[in-house]
Amino acid sequence: MGEMEQMKKEAEALKTQIEAARKAVHDTDMASAAAGVAPAPQVQLKTRKTLKGHLAKIYAMHWSTDNRLMVSASQDGKLLIWDSHSGNKVNAVPLKSSWVMTCAYAPSGNLVASGGLDNMCTVYNLKTPVIKTVKELDAHTGYLSCARFLSDTEILTSSGDTTCALWDLETGKQKTVFLNHVGDCMCLSLSPDMNSFVSGACDSLAKLWDVRDGQCKQTFQGHTSDINAISFIPSGNAIITGSDDCTCKMYDIRADQEVICYQDAALNSGVTSLALSTSGRLIFAGYDDFNCNIWDSLKGEKVGVLSGHDNRVSCTGVPEDGMCVCTGSWDSFLKIWN
Amino acid sequence: MSGSSNIVAMKKIVQQLRFEANINRVKVSQAAAELQQFCIQNALQDPLLTGVSSSTNPFRTQKVCSFL
């Protein structure tokens, strides 16, 4: 038998082995296991603020760790920094390329980053008298879909070139490249302990990576289309994904499999974004149908909806203190709800 | 030429599958129980679950009342 044939056989055998191992621990699923848990209350949140200022579709938003400031990115070519309590704009950062797809706030509050169809991640210092570009991270060969700071010296990016990368912000170079996806990487989420992260891609897979050694540790299957959104549950033991297949899924990391699917026959729009409440019980998922649906993460039931945008909800975010949820939309507005 | 790069790619796929096959897996019932416990333990500190009172809601415009 040729070497290629032999390896193909081994690959098939390993896939069968993995499926069998997953089945062996599948003694229940999340919804059945949660039968005894009291249902989450029906959640009715009101719009407390509508942030107006962008002149075109909003593609991304990210909260600062101070629970008050947030950054949003729009294809009007600007990043806006907002004071969510007053609704005022604190800063405007003009972008070299208006085709922005992501933005991020550093945990320190000193830096923000943006990126998109320019294939670059640009980092800005907010604390200098005039906002300065401090680095242009240029090595991806595809669009920048997501960026997240680990600190003021390291940032993680995901790209349409199918890779993710960890960058050193002092040298501007990639320290580690994460290779394994076979489709555009669309989103990433850092684990609470920052030792690992998960990525979602157009190959309909989610992957768990070790931040330091670049190893892909686990692969989660089940979606039938692009995964556009991904987030760790605050406990760090499970992840939620949102996909163009109109469903969200929870994958448990230690059981290495899908444990619940959040879907509704009436929902036939793709999921664009998602965020979790601080206990992990509520999932806020933004859809192409202009709504943000609220799911009970344990029971798999829809418990509320945020309606109010006049176009696709493209981004959602809950600040660290969990006091509200922010939705951003192609209608150019951001809304704060609680 | 493309033959040998296919073999290299296939080797990587097999290597990755070997790695993923070797992890320890926990029973879903145990994982579910721990996740439920986490959610329940943190439920009271989850403002979006418990609700935010108007007096402590930083996003509500405060109206100032004064006695004349």
Domains, chain A, with CATH or none: 58-337 (2.130.10.10)
Instruction: Verify whether the Cβ–Cβ distance A281 to B47 is below 8 Å.
Output: no
User: Who has greater pLDDT, B64 or A289?
Assistant: A289
Tokens matching residue A248: 């969200």
pLDDT band, residue B68 (cuts 50/70/90):
low
Q: What is the DSSP string of A282-330?
A: EEEEEETTS-EEEEETTT--EEEEE---SS-EEEEE--TT---EEEEET
How far is residue A127's CA from residue A91's CA, in Å, rounded to a whole number? 11
- What's the gap in Å between the CA of A91 and the closest CA on chain B? 19
Residue B59 lies in a domain: no
**The predicted structure's pLDDT at residue A42:** 86
A-B C-beta contacts closer than 8 Å? 169
In a domain? residue B7: yes
For residue B43, the chain A residues in CB contact (below 8 A) are 279, 281
For residue A215, list chain B residues with Cβ-Cβ distance below 8 A. Answer: 19
Q: Does a structural domain hold residue B56?
A: no
**Looking at beta carbons, which residues of chain A come within 8 Å of B59?**
48-49, 84-85, 323-324, 336, 338
Q: Which of B11, B25, B59 sits opposite A336 (nearest CB)?
A: B59
What number of other Cβ atoms are within 10 A of residue A245's Cβ? 19
The reported pLDDT for the residue numbered A41 is 86
pLDDT of residue B2: 59
Chain A partners within 8 Å of B28 (Cβ): 25-30, 33, 252, 255, 257, 259
Is A281 close to B20, i.e. CB distance below 8 A? no
So what's the pLDDT on residue A21? Answer: 97
Two tokens, residue B8: 């290299």
C-alpha B47/C-alpha B51 separation (Å) is: 5
For residue A246, give how far its alpha carbon lies from the nearest alpha carbon of chain B (Å): 24
- Confidence band (pLDDT; 50, 70, 90) for B64? low
Q: Does B13 touch chain A (CB under 8 A)?
A: yes
Residue B1, pLDDT above cutoff 70: no
How far A87 CA sits from the closest chain B CA (Å)? 9
| pLDDT in the model for residue B60 | 86
Prediction ipTM score: 0.92
The domain tally of chain B equals 1
Q: Is B29 on the interface with A (CB under 8 A)?
A: yes
**Do the Cβ atoms of A34 and B32 come within 8 Å?**
yes
Q: Does the pLDDT at position B65 exceed 90?
A: no
For an interface test with B, give the residue of A219, A252, A274, A303 to mutate (most B CBs within 10 A): A252
Q: How many other β-carbons are positioned within 10 Å of the β-carbon of residue A317?
A: 23
Query: Residue B25: closest CA among chain A residues belongs to which residue?
Result: A255
- The per-residue pLDDT for range B17-55, each reduced to its tens digit, is 999 999 999 999 999 999 999 999 999 999 999 999 888
Across the interface, of B20, B42, B60, the residue whose CB is closest to A18 is B20
CA-CA distance, A74 to A54, in Å (whole number)?
7
For chain A (length 338 residues), average pLDDT per consecutive 10?
91 97 95 93 92 97 98 97 96 97 98 98 97 97 98 98 98 97 97 97 98 96 98 97 98 97 95 97 97 96 95 97 97 97
| Residue in chain B nearest A258 by alpha carbon | B28
What strands lie across the sheet with A216-220, from one edge to the other? A185-190, A196-201, A206-210, A216-220
Check if B37 contacts A (Cβ < 8 Å).
no
What is the model's pLDDT at position B63? Answer: 63
Q: What is the dihedral of CA A162, A164, A169, A174, to 10 degrees?
A: -70
Å between B67 CA and nearest CA of chain A: 25
Query: In which order are the strands placed within the sheet that holds A227-232?
Result: A227-232, A238-243, A248-252, A257-262
Whether A45 and B48 have beta carbons less than 8 Å apart is answered as: yes
| Domain membership flag for residue B65 | no
Segment (H or E) for A15: helix A3-25
Residue B11 within any structural domain of the chain: yes
The encoded tokens of residue B10 equal 């296939």
Is the CB of B64 inside 8 Å of chain A's CB atoms?
no
DSSP symbol at B53? -
Enclosing domain of residue B34:
1-42
Q: Is residue B38 part of a domain?
A: yes
Report the alpha-carbon distance of residue A15 to residue A82 in Å, rounded: 48
> H or E stretch including A124?
strand A120-125
